[in-house]
Structure 1
Amino acid sequence: MRTVRDVHARTVQAPADTVGALLDRLGGADDPLFPTPVWPPMRFDRPLGVGADGGHGFVRYRVAAYEPGRRIRFDFTGGEDGWHEITVRPLGPGSCRVEHVLQSRLPLGQRVMWTLAIRAAHGTVVEEIFDNIERAATGRASAPVRRSPRVRLLNRLLWDRPRAVELPAAARLAHRAFPRTDFQDAWQMDLLPGMPKEPEAWEGVLRGASFPVAGRADGEILLGKDARHLDFRASILVADGRVTLGTVVRLHHTTGRLYFAVVRRVHPFMARLMLRRIHRRLALAAPTAGERAVARV
């Protein structure tokens, strides 16, 4: 195994105490630094401190050292040998240097993955953290990082996927759409910090198809259309930190049943695709963590 070492640093035109106070909120409910919702949020099983277990996405680590306002060191867990840490060092009364260092011993296979993909994504996430430090501390990022085509592709490939669930009881419009329902399903994804919680923002989930709004109530929008062979409704429910795309169908006579026998084979794929696509699109368009921190002031 060989050791991989990666260092990023930036001078921030803000006092070290100001930047350190932002660092102390890393991984919290109002985290102003980690670049969500474009990347999975950093989460821990307890408040930030030595021993807190967590990570972001598939990267898992534990807080090994914590000097409030100055330094946090994370040891990788899950069999990976290494650590990463972020430090804040004063340069003067109005500026400081923020540095992130990663060091890890990787076997050949992981080293190849690091070289081909992970290093670029890791570097982008770190630079976006630095951008958010500048935004939250000074009001603007001096030179925001740009995501390379490789990083955008990796982000797309690693994006979370919808999971099948029962149609939530809170989707009352969908449950009451028809006196008799011949088919129903639902797909759900978690809302990431900064993503819109208004169901109107999610109306574009049925991209490429324009259907009238059949109802709105309590965080739910119902779209749909009636036809001679079947009636269908699509429910978009935003509640409890999740967005759910539900479908209910009522069939008419033999033609409708034959038609839907074919459609229902491709419907799950299309429903997952549409929900995942708008989920990522809205995440990319959402304000950054630093911008949200400034807006809260």
Structure 2
Amino acid sequence: MRGTRTLRNVHERIVQAPAETVGALVDRLATPDDALFPTPVWPGMVLDRPLAVGADGGHGRIRYRVTAYEPGRSVRFDTTGDGLGAGWHRFDVEPLGPGRCRISHVLEVTLSAGRFAFFKLAIEPVHDTMVEEIFDNAERAVLGSLPHPPARRPRRALLVNRLLWVRPTGVPVPADARLLHAAFERPDFTDAWRIPLAPGMPRDPRAWRHLLPFTERGAEGDELMLGEDASHLDFRASVLVDDDSVTLATAVRLHSPYGRLYFAVASRVHPYLARRSLRRAHRRVAFAVRPAGERNARAAAQDS
């Protein structure tokens, strides 16, 4: 087709483990104990059903469908929608003798000239980093540790990661934020912002202790409360963690005309600062999580 280009991107790695063991990891793609996809730093693979021909899903903004699957050996995904272009990508595990195999990933997609340039500039560094981290996770899961330094994360990939990081959305103050509700009988201001948790991210609210630089005021169950008191206002922030998300909710009690004047100005920048703090903490926590290959190594050993 005029004005289009076909891109082919190939990665492969020799793993010192039986093909059956590495292939078992491929079979667990998009499951809760997926040891391959490098979540939560990068988007995880999500499918609408267990891995099988016809399963729909994707990762991030890239959408695809399983079109071929040989358990323990290979799986192919054909793109759907316009998130990338017309094409496919696949994982293959090839035996190379006892205790040794090759895992490979091939992407082939047809793109317009403009999308081809955009892919080379912004998407390819992320794609290459993700695939190499997938291979790292395969080795972590089957060998217990990496026999070499981990894959490097280029600055361009990290920049794209930062720009596309999930953003908080505004929600009502959760009813489960009991400490916050009990803090002030009649707060003068409240708001709440929520961001989803990716696989592997901690559900302990104390892991989010440094979200805001305020004094800890208490913890109960899934909630941690921070806050400060001043002559003009009292401020409380609740960090509430559930199975799917972390919510930052705030409440303010004003004491004086100066406090009301001060907060009339501060309230205009508060939503931006709250969203920014939650998003930065979310990304920082994600980067501190152990790699998927380590978190799910036990499951891999049971399959070997």
TM-score (norm 2): 0.94
Deviation of residue 282 (structure 1)? Answer: 0.9
1:293 to 283, 291, 296: 296
Give 3-state SS (helix, strand or coil) of 2:94's partner: strand
Residue in 2 aligned with 1:183? 189
**Residue 258 of structure 2 is aligned to residue 255 of structure 1:** yes
Q: Which whole-Å deviations, capped at 9, do the CAs of 1:217-239 have from their partners, x for residues lacking one?
A: 11111111222211110101111
Q: Which whole-Å deviations, capped at 9, do the CAs of 1:206-260 have from their partners, x for residues lacking one?
A: 1xx3x22222111111111222211110101111321111100111232111110
Residue in 2 aligned with 1:153? 159
> Do 2:203 and 2:243's aligned partners in 1 also have CA atoms closer than 8 Å?
no
Distance 1:27 1:274 in 2: 30
Distance 1:295 1:229 in 2: 54
Amino acid at match of 2:257: T
> Do 2:189 and 2:252's aligned partners in 1 also have CA atoms closer than 8 Å?
yes
Q: Larger deviation: 116-125 or 249-258?
A: 249-258
Distance 1:214 1:142 in 2: 45
Alignment of 1:80-159 (within 5 A): 80-143=85-148, 144-159=150-165
Deviation of residue 138 (structure 1)? Answer: 1.1
Distance 1:89 1:179 in 2: 65
Amino acid at match of 1:110: R
Give 3-state SS (helix, strand or coil) of 1:29's partner: coil
Deviation of residue 175 (structure 1)? Answer: 1.0
Residue in 2 aligned with 1:30? 33
Distance 2:140 2:273 in 1: 38
2:244 to 241, 244, 261: 241
Residue in 2 aligned with 1:274? 277
Distance 1:104 1:213 in 2: 51
Residue in 2 aligned with 1:232? 235
Give 3-state SS (helix, strand or coil) of 1:167's partner: coil
Deviation of residue 155 (structure 1)? Answer: 0.9
**Residue 223 of structure 2 is aligned to residue 220 of structure 1:** yes
2:11 to 8, 28, 51: 8
Give 3-state SS (helix, strand or coil) of 1:259's partner: helix
Distance 1:295 1:157 in 2: 34
Q: Percent identity among equivalent residues? A: 60
Alignment of 1:58-69 (within 5 A): 58-69=61-72
Residue in 2 aligned with 1:44? 47
Alignment of 1:169-180 (within 5 A): 169-180=175-186
Aligned residue-pair number: 294
Q: Which whole-Å deviations, capped at 9, do the CAs of 1:98-126 have from their partners, x for residues lacking one?
A: 11000000001110111111111101100
Give 3-state SS (helix, strand or coil) of 1:204's partner: helix
Distance 1:295 1:5 in 2: 34
Amino acid at match of 1:53: D
Amino acid at match of 2:39: T
Give 3-state SS (helix, strand or coil) of 1:250's partner: strand
> Do 2:17 and 2:101's aligned partners in 1 also have CA atoms closer than 8 Å?
yes
Amino acid at match of 2:8: R
Distance 2:297 2:104 in 1: 22
Distance 1:140 1:146 in 2: 16
Amino acid at match of 1:182: D
Distance 1:113 1:14 in 2: 37
Deviation of residue 295 (structure 1)? Answer: 5.3
Distance 2:75 2:59 in 1: 15
Amino acid at match of 1:248: A
Distance 1:151 1:142 in 2: 24
Distance 1:295 1:238 in 2: 26
Q: Which whole-Å deviations, capped at 9, do the CAs of 1:121-161 have from their partners, x for residues lacking one?
A: 10110010000011111112233211011111111111111
Cα distance change, pair 20–142 in 1 and its aligned pair in 2 (3 A): same
Give 3-state SS (helix, strand or coil) of 1:41's partner: coil
Amino acid at match of 2:116: R
